[in-house]
Copies of this chain bind each other. A is one copy, B any other.
């Protein structure tokens, strides 16, 4: 049986615990249950009472396709509510090789205590001096750790932003190529890690434990069918591998839902120049890679290696959200400059969605002109330095807006909106408004039914059906995040009648007990209930389930629709 490793960051004591009440959980279901039970909802997110949980999903100990996502949980410094930040990379598959389902960081050292590197080995934990990497950006820090622990070392790092406990700071996880490129981006969890004075978590690369399947044959059959399902759907086998998520730029722009100039219009003149098609052409010309997986066992391969003009590696995990945020939303159409901003965020340890919206606030305030990519890059690079402006920007969208008196601030629960204007993709607007996470497209990706027509067909501009699809997607997503599967499996799952049963069969094969589709649904529902309970304790009401007033007052061209849901109507999107 896998264990939970608890590490006290103040006393440096640790213990390996049986799962106990947490048995049967994994990923988000585990982090949210644990945060809900063990963290006082009204504590300061940077105080000793907060905990940082890193967990693999239920299927992380298997070789099921796309089962290597890691859930990072805590009370969020950004939203003040519960947070599960979901990330690729090698971490989740490495944990079971150490006999672990999760690592929990508790308490905190004195503010002036030195940063440490926490080395997790099979039966022990070492607190190592982090002087060799403190203050370093993530790629350089990871290089130091590779030199120290070997090329295959698996790491979770905070950059200078996390060291400063800034609210837009993320945690960067290492990928199969030995780069710290994968971001547990949202909600400022890098600040929680920084507050506990952890610069790096290192998983012993030598660990090789295997978890036995209770019913290997059942698992094997289901696993095979699972791979076939993913490889048989056009989105997961062709669209995403060829163009990455940036395939959405032209699609969402065409739909009139690409937020442009801080959510002023739904179409961007420069869309073609920053599209997935342009990206793939550019990658091919520069001998990068347009098919690339963020973790071992990924068959979708939506990632890529994006090289600069000289053919040198520039970035990877270059997502639609990032391209939209530093692109259309800032009136920037230079894909290379956007790639530099993506890399800069990965280096400093910043959430790209939060920072892209932050840059929009900086442009609203006149710090740099709209469309000025070089100016935006210069601003970004201030974060993590001693410049107080960097502290403002690194604390995110609302903070920057407050610092400069900007009143047009696209956030829900203090977290900045992603790349779909809710006035033109109303289903995702319901998700933004009601998810426990603050504005988050991944929490219930109604773009499927609203725009892509996967898993249903609901008019993106109308209200009918939106609450229902968002609610169902939120439950399904919580389950997917708990299983440790990549969310993109949903494209195939939604269109494949036996897919959920196949997933249930994989779990059943692993645990050797019956596992049903209802169990999967229950996993999602209970996870959301845990999260909602925490958020109520943190002071959230239905009044927080609403978009900022400007979405209700300003029609969005070209469709000239407004956001016309009340907070009351939103309540039906929440479980329980």
Contacts and interface: CB of A to CB of B under 8 A. Distances in A.
A538 B408 CA distance: 17
Count of chain copies: 2
A40 to B, nearest CB: 7
Contact of A388 (B164, B166, B195, B389): B389
A406 B111 CA distance: 9
A543 B47 CA distance: 18
Given A539-B543, A543-B537, A391 B404 contact: yes
Given A195-B407, A407-B195, A543-B538, A43 B388 contact: no
A21 interface: no
Contacts of A540: 539, 541
28 contacts: A40-B549, A42-B543, A44-B409, A44-B548, A44-B549, A45-B407, A46-B405, A46-B406, A47-B407, A49-B549, A77-B402, A111-B364, A111-B405, A165-B404, A165-B405, A167-B402, A195-B405, A388-B392, A391-B404, A392-B392, A395-B402, A395-B403, A399-B399, A536-B543, A538-B543, A539-B539, A539-B543, A539-B544
B194 A546 contact: no
A422 to B, nearest CB: 15
Is the contact region of chain A dominated by helix, strand, or loop, or is it mixed? loop
A165 to B, nearest CB: 3
Contacts of A408: 44, 47
Chain A interface size range: 35 or more
Contacts of A47: 407-408, 549-550
A243 to B, nearest CB: 37
A388 B388 CA distance: 6
A41 interface: yes
A75 to B, nearest CB: 12
Interface in A75-120: 77, 111
Nearest to A365: B111
A269 interface: no
A417 interface: no
Query: Closest 4 CB pairs between A and B?
Result: A165-B405, A539-B543, A388-B389, A46-B407
Interface in A8-22: none
Nearest to A402: B395
A568 interface: no
Interface string A526-566: 00000000001111110110101110000000000000000
Interface of A: 40-47, 49, 77, 111, 164-167, 191, 194-195, 364, 387-389, 391-392, 395, 399, 402-409, 536-541, 543-544, 546, 548-550
Given A111-B364, A387-B388, A536-B541, 13 more contacts: A42-B546, A44-B408, A44-B409, A46-B405, A46-B407, A47-B407, A47-B408, A165-B405, A195-B405, A388-B388, A388-B392, A391-B403, A539-B540
Contacts of A164: 404-405
Nearest to A538: B543
Contacts of A392: 388, 391-392, 403
Contacts of A549: 40, 42-44, 47, 49
A84 B391 CA distance: 31
A44 B552 CA distance: 13
A343 to B, nearest CB: 24
A41 B567 CA distance: 13
A194 B49 CA distance: 39
A63 to B, nearest CB: 40
Contacts of A387: 388
Nearest to A537: B543
Nearest to A393: B388
For A388, A402, A550, the residue with the greatest tally of chain B CB atoms inside 10 Å of its CB is A402
Contact of A403 (B42, B49, B388): B388
Contacts of A544: 539
Given A543-B41, A549-B49, A402 B405 contact: no
Interface hub of A77, A388, A399 (most chain B Cβ within 10 A): A388
A40 B552 CA distance: 12
Contacts of A389: 388
A51 to B, nearest CB: 14
Contacts of A550: 47
A548 B49 CA distance: 12
A111 B45 CA distance: 34
A537 B549 CA distance: 13
A519 to B, nearest CB: 33
Contacts of A546: 42
A385 to B, nearest CB: 12
A543 B533 CA distance: 12
Nearest to A535: B543
Given A388-B389, A388-B392, A544-B539, A402 B403 contact: no
Contacts of A403: 388, 391-392, 395, 399
